[in-house]
Amino acid sequence: MLVLCLLSVVAGCVPSQVRHRQELVSRDYSYIDFTQNAAPLTIVADVGGEHMTYYKVLAFQGDRFRITVADLDGETSTVISGDGIRIRKGPDATVFQRLVEVEALDTLFSVELDAHPYGRYRLIIEKL
């Protein structure tokens, strides 16, 4: 019974936008879907060394997103990529902020984070 309670508490900690998460030796992949819950997704996590973290966002034509990454400790490198998207700098110059607009019928664009030797970051993905 205790195990069941602990599992339900842990399961409750995963944001509802995260549809699938896969952790490998030096790569983590999280697949994000805003179709059921359009609330902003906020994640605070660590990355470093040879480890890389990928957030893959399912999006459709006309969708717009604001991606914000703030360094909490260390310096995190962020790259946004994908087919059928247009990326512009966001208005907040104090943090990494990009506006992503989907031009294709659908896409799965990526937000890639890494740091050397270490970085702690806050990632916010907002569907506009």
- pLDDT on residue 11: 41
Q: In this predicted model, what pLDDT tens digit does every residue of 53-95 receive, in sequence order? A: 999 999 999 999 999 999 999 889 999 999 999 999 988 888 8
Contact between residue 71 and residue 114 where contact means Cβ atoms under 8 Å apart: no
Residue 9, pLDDT above cutoff 50: no
107, two tokens: 């896409």
* Backbone torsion region of residue 63, taken as left when φ is above 0, otherwise alpha when ψ lies between -120 and 50, otherwise beta: beta
Residue 37, pLDDT above cutoff 80: yes
Instruction: Please report which confidence band the pLDDT of residue 40 belongs to, taking 50, 70 and 90 as the band edges.
Output: very high
> In the predicted model, what is the mean pLDDT of residues 33-46?
90
- pLDDT on residue 98: 95
Q: What is the pTM of this model?
A: 0.81
CA distance 15 to 91: 26
Q: Which amino acid, 63?
A: D
- pLDDT on residue 15: 60
